[in-house]
Structure formats: C-alpha cells, structure tokens
C-alpha cells in the first residue's frame, strides 16, 4: 500500500515539474504518456513508451517536442545505449527532447552528450544495485525461515 502511494506521488511530482517547465518555456502539453508503476528496466513492458515511440516514428505525433522529467525517465536499461537510441528516434523525426529537471540544456552540445551518457550509466547502475540489494534481502529472509512472497503466496496458504 505504501509503495503504491509513493509511486503515485512520484508520478504527480514529475507531472507538476513538467507542467512548470512547459509554462516557463511556452509549451502546451497536448498528450501525456505514463507507464504508471512499471519498471524502467525493460521497455517491452512499457506500453506508453512504445506508444510514444510509435507516434514519433510513424509521423502521427500530435506534438512538436517531448518533455521528459529527467534522463533516467527513458529507462534504466543495463545497456544505456537503449535510452540513447529512443532519444535518437525523436531527433531523427525532428522532435526535440527537453529534460525538465536537469541542470543542463539538451542542445546537442558536447557537454550535453557527456552528461546524458553519464546519467544513463548512473541510472543503470542504480537499478543494478537495487536489484542486488532486494535479492540479498529476500535471500536473507528466506534463510531465516520466512516465506518470501506477496499476497498470492499468502492466499495459497489460506491466510
């Protein structure tokens, strides 16, 4: 329950920051793509991201720019070139990408490319470390004799 509330607030905070950026830079938000509660590690599970990329690639996009909260919102892929590729698809379609909460301008300069590559690597490393911590924590609980699972496991035990 707490996790779901945290995710909702996180999404709301991102939307608010993007709206502030849009207002400050003269953008009107015409469509929002949100993969609520989905992991940023595997793109195939993110229907909204796939829809965005399809709209961009097909030329049917109703927008002239994409506003993203920060570099990590594209995804925390183990291969950080995947997120760069998705950004490139927008660039190739002539749709500029704006990172609303970053301290640099995504202007095609050498420094913006370096910072994006660094931030993509940091996002992937964060995800890898988190996965390792979760695995260790669940393994420790199992070794202590606790049942590691969710509601489905409890329901099967009649609890």
Q: What is the rounded average pLDDT for all residues in the chain?
A: 83
136 Cβ contact partners less than 8 Å away, ≥ 6 residues apart: none
Residue 41 reports pLDDT greater than 50: yes
* CATH architecture under which domain 2-156 falls: 3-Layer(aba) Sandwich (3.40)
| Tokens of residue 2, six digits | 């707490």
CA distance 120 to 72: 6
- Domain regions of the chain by residue span: 2-156
With a cut of 80, say whether residue 155 has pLDDT above it. Answer: no
Q: Give me the torsion for CA of 60, 70, 110, 81, rounded to 10°.
A: -70
Judge whether 99 and 50 are in contact, CB under 8 Å: no
Q: Model-level pTM greater than 0.85?
A: no
Q: Over the stretch 121-142, which tens digit does the pLDDT of each residue have?
A: 887 777 677 778 878 888 888 8
């Amino acid at each position: 329950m707490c996790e779901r509330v945290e995710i909702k607030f996180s999404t709301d905070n991102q939307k608010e920051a993007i709206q502030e950026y849009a207002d400050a830079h003269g953008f009107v938000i015409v469509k929002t793509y949100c993969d609520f509660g989905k992991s940023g590690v595997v793109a195939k599970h993110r229907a909204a991201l796939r829809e965005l990329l399809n709209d961009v690639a097909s030329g049917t996009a109703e927008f002239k720019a994409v506003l993203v909260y920060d570099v990590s919102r594209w995804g925390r892929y183990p291969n950080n070139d995947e997120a760069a590729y998705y950004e490139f698809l927008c660039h190739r379609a002539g749709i500029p990408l704006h990172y609303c909460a970053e301290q640099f301008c995504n202007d095609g300069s050498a420094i913006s490319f370096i910072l994006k590559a660094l931030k993509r690597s940091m996002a992937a490393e964060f995800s890898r470390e988190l996965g390792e911590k979760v695995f260790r924590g669940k393994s420790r609980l199992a070794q202590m004799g606790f049942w590691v699972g969710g509601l489905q496991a409890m329901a099967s035990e009649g609890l």
